[in-house]
Structure 1
């Protein structure tokens, strides 16, 4: 195992105490971490323990705050290079050096500097350097009542950069400020980086009396404390604001990406809606914010929600769970399942709601109820169909016999009318039996387009008789398992409804196409459309808008679609109605 060797002891960590304090005060823990990145916990920079010199570990932050520890010149240069990445301003190292002295100068040294002026600090500089820095020697070559000149002689083999010179310049500036120097000037007139044998720094200041220095010190101390308190308070406030903004942003991201709709209302008005909720209603957030929430509901639910909002005082944490119907921007109805609760929003009482779209579930429930009704009727029809048909057949036969006798020839017109009505009753019973959900179907693999084309001459003839037009738009579609007789009946029922709904010269269109995992048959007319109040009852047995209708035509269509594992959807408007029959592949 390779032996760990501690780095050379060249720069005492007393030099970095003030720097770490300054960074933490002005740039927080993050600033300290950035400056020490690559230096702390690095196997490149090892340090010997002050109690057990044989124990060598990577440098930690607490080592930099303890003057019992030393680091190498290389470590110090890298630390100063990192300072430039954190401290702002035209000369970051000058600023850091100046503030590190201000944050680290002992109270006794500060008091002596204020009493005796900058001259005492000038003498102190050489002793401090000899105690805490082994890379150079600082010589005070000239000292007057208003100036001092220092020479910095670096020992052979030590690398010096402009970063070091700017740092030293800041150190001397900080000392001058602490000594109460006014109108002073600190500059480097020679530098080893430029080829000189040593670095030469000059410090000049205006001579002040003891009283002026003490008054200046007191004023600066009070002012500095006030400024530092203000800066600290401002930083804490800004940090809290940033944390609050980040927290709000995180919650906004969560709500905007939620699969459920989320809204917040105050006094009945939307103050927040997430993207999912606006998508459900097909409105933009700007179209909803500031509007009364009940304006988007079906009229049947508006008064209910108004009353509920008025009775909810918000004093208790109340939760409401309910279902309601709303209106999308395009006029389509949508069903919501809502869970609402009282909250505080922007320091005011509010109601937050979580919304799930249950329109498909509602439609499925309605479809199941409708099919159950159809099945009940079909079971009744199957039970009594034969019992009714048998006597009807007997009556029809006797009427035919009587109509053929000479003695009854004068009543033949009446006999024919009775036979016609019996045939009509028999056709109604046949349609009755077609409603049966468990009716046996003869499914064979065939193409829906072929059935439509086979019916086209018959449909064309019906259209021409009523002065209307018929057209087909058939796309390539896959084969399906179909009962041809039932599909023919379904198409003819939808076509005849469409023809009867149109005025002369209207166009009836039959289309077929494949969509995703289904084949679609569409029958479109150019009638006046279906009223919304009637739309929900479409397909209900015995419901008809025709004077002589039985109300079984569409009911039979729904039953046939169900037996083929299909569904029927309706789109209607002032320009006509389209019935879509979806067959799953």
Structure 2
């Protein structure tokens, strides 16, 4: 204000300053407009101007000097002369406005003198502002450098890590307080010294590697050393050293070394590594144990003679062992409830269940016991583990025990029955024979014959009952089964029921057994005749012999009508028969005989395909 305000041109001319963005920086006659912008149409900005077109035109030009004419609100033409200069990268416009009439008047009085004065003023002003701009810029740059160096020094001193800057002769140009504390020297005694002369290094091999990385930094390369040993207060400490090129004006002038103490980190890392190795050893050991246990469990699961599977709440099998795979292979279903469809819903939610169901496997009826137990899986869902056991043999054993108990009870009943019926029947038979000798009419004779015939049938049944109640154990002698079998076949081959029956014998030399040959012959004939009765339209009877461990197995397989599954459990019961004229004692007596020999009779049958009766006898242990 003191400088520009004193600059006037003529009586009414004056100077003012405006910035390149249109902001009025100084105006001697309109102080209220200072700080306002000519691009905003504010009312108080038009007290001395009708418009700012002239000023806006000046700001739009790229020239550093010039002039423009405009008309004031007093309708007076004025001339604006301007000059442009920069202050901290901002365009400042120094403008002088004067009425044109005053210019013409002055020019008429002393055109030449005033022209020189105006030019002189312009030159002085331009020189003044040039000097002002230069001094201002120099001052700003100096302040920025001081601020920058202050920031840089504070940053370097704030770093906990040790920092040192070297020139290409390994002389120290700069270091921070942390590095000075390491050397236990003030910084002024360190600056200018050779780095390797004062570095607390006792290991020559590390000094060599450090020198190589510093030399690479002189060539513009970066490098680092992890775990570099340095002695601090007589204690060996490990450091992480990072070395970078020291670049000024795109030229490498030396190297910047940053050294950070990582002793605790290395010790922690070593401790972690030790724990990790120990943990790895324990994990490996535990993994081996778990693997062994898993292998044991797998062996148990895969070799156990029971089906084991894991199912969801719908009965779908999610996992199974080999036995379970064998069970479902023929049924071609992967749902437990479908496998045991006859029992209905096989799963009760979250409740253990157990049931026994019939199961057809390889054409044979099996009894399966299934236990279903719920458990929580890792995902929180309820799963079920099912154990399926084939209890057919147990059922057969139970049936045999029941059969033995029934036979024992029936034997006691038969003994009393044979005694009570046998004596009166003998008397009746005697009187019938006496009557036959005394009657002469045809009807009486025929009637007595019928009575006698039925008495004989009753006597036959009574004898069978008596034999059943007090079975004759016979004389057990070492016996050749093939001889007994051949004898039995010879006896039945003349039976008229053998017509159309093809008999095949597949027996080789087999060990002898300890039996009564006559009773064994009775059993063979009984089973052969039953097989013949099952083939009324002819067929084939195959007799096979084999040795299984300490047992001799003689099987009779026919191609007859077969035995229904619901009948099989009762075929060895006394009085049970499917024949119109059968007594129901053939198989029951045969079963008792074989049991007395220490053996067993097994039956397999399928309706429409035939039956197989297998006699199982222990091998004679001969000295």
| Matching residue of 2:217 | 146
CA contact (8 A) 1:123 1:140 kept: no
Q: What CA distance in whole angstroms lies between the structure 1 residues aligned with 2:577 and 2:245?
A: 103
What is the Cα deviation at residue 407 of structure 1? 1.9
CA contact (8 A) 1:523 1:580 kept: yes
* Secondary structure class of the residue paired with 1:378: helix
Q: 1:293 pairs with 328, 333, 336, which one?
A: 336
Q: What CA distance in whole angstroms lies between the structure 2 residues aligned with 1:547 and 1:565?
A: 32
Q: What CA distance in whole angstroms lies between the structure 2 residues aligned with 1:357 and 1:522?
A: 24
Q: 1:517 pairs with 541, 550, 554, which one?
A: 550
Q: What CA distance in whole angstroms lies between the structure 2 residues aligned with 1:438 and 1:363?
A: 24
Q: 2:445 pairs with 406, 412, 428, which one?
A: 412
Q: What CA distance in whole angstroms lies between the structure 2 residues aligned with 1:384 and 1:209?
A: 128
| Matching residue of 1:179 | 242
* Secondary structure class of the residue paired with 1:146: helix
Q: What CA distance in whole angstroms lies between the structure 2 residues aligned with 1:275 and 1:206?
A: 77
| Matching residue of 1:273 | 320
In the superposition, relative to structure 1, how do residues 287 and 171 fare at CA in structure 2: closer, same or farther (>3 Å)?
farther
What is the Cα deviation at residue 578 of structure 1? 0.8
Q: TM-score, normalising length from structure 1? A: 0.58
Aligned pairs for 1:335-414 within 5 A = 335-347=367-379, 348-405=381-438, 407-408=440-441, 410-414=443-447
Gapped regions of structure 1 (runs ≥ 5): 1-107, 149-167, 184-204, 222-227
| Matching residue of 2:457 | 424
Superposed CA offset, 1:238-262 (max 9, x none): x999999989866753443223543
Q: TM-score, normalising length from structure 2? A: 0.54
Q: What CA distance in whole angstroms lies between the structure 2 residues aligned with 1:439 and 1:375?
A: 15
What is the Cα deviation at residue 467 of structure 1? 3.5
In the superposition, relative to structure 1, how do residues 373 and 131 fare at CA in structure 2: closer, same or farther (>3 Å)?
same
Superposed CA offset, 1:261-309 (max 9, x none): 4321111221111224434x2639x966xx221222272xx22x43xx2
CA contact (8 A) 1:510 1:522 kept: yes
| Matching residue of 2:614 | 580
CA contact (8 A) 1:110 1:179 kept: no
What is the Cα deviation at residue 365 of structure 1? 0.8
Asked which structure has the greater CA Rg, the reply is 2
Q: What CA distance in whole angstroms lies between the structure 1 residues aligned with 2:197 and 2:422?
A: 125
Q: 2:298 pairs with 246, 253, 256, which one?
A: 256
What is the Cα deviation at residue 381 of structure 1? 0.7
* Secondary structure class of the residue paired with 1:544: coil
Q: What CA distance in whole angstroms lies between the structure 1 residues aligned with 2:454 and 2:582?
A: 14
CA contact (8 A) 1:114 1:180 kept: no
* Secondary structure class of the residue paired with 2:376: strand
Aligned pairs for 1:45-444 within 5 A = 111-112=161-162, 130-131=202-203, 140=211, 146-147=217-218, 178-179=241-242, 181=244, 207=252, 253-258=295-300, 259=304, 260-267=306-313, 268-279=315-326, 281=327, 283=329, 291-297=334-340, 299=342, 302-303=343-344, 305-306=345-346, 309-310=347-348, 312=349, 314=350, 319-320=352-353, 322-327=354-359, 329-347=361-379, 348-405=381-438, 407-408=440-441, 410-436=443-469, 439-444=472-477
Q: What CA distance in whole angstroms lies between the structure 2 residues aligned with 1:481 and 1:401?
A: 48
Q: What CA distance in whole angstroms lies between the structure 2 residues aligned with 1:243 and 1:117?
A: 57
What is the Cα deviation at residue 147 of structure 1? 3.5
In the superposition, relative to structure 1, how do residues 350 and 395 fare at CA in structure 2: closer, same or farther (>3 Å)?
same
CA contact (8 A) 1:256 1:276 kept: no
* Secondary structure class of the residue paired with 1:503: coil
Q: What CA distance in whole angstroms lies between the structure 1 residues aligned with 2:595 and 2:199?
A: 101
In the superposition, relative to structure 1, how do residues 508 and 276 fare at CA in structure 2: closer, same or farther (>3 Å)?
closer
Q: What CA distance in whole angstroms lies between the structure 2 residues aligned with 1:337 and 1:141?
A: 81
Say which structure is richer in strand. 2
Say which structure is richer in helix. 1
Report the RMSD for the aligned CA atoms in angstroms.
4.9
In the superposition, relative to structure 1, how do residues 372 and 213 fare at CA in structure 2: closer, same or farther (>3 Å)?
same
In the superposition, relative to structure 1, how do residues 116 and 380 fare at CA in structure 2: closer, same or farther (>3 Å)?
farther
What is the Cα deviation at residue 140 of structure 1? 4.7
In the superposition, relative to structure 1, how do residues 411 and 208 fare at CA in structure 2: closer, same or farther (>3 Å)?
farther
Superposed CA offset, 1:27-75 (max 9, x none): xxxxxxxxxxxxxxxxxxxxxxxxxxxxxxxxxxxxxxxxxxxxxxxxx
In the superposition, relative to structure 1, how do residues 356 and 572 fare at CA in structure 2: closer, same or farther (>3 Å)?
closer
**When the two structures are aligned, how many residues end up with a matched partner?**
406
Which structure has the higher relative contact order (CA within 8 Å, separation 6+)? Answer: 1
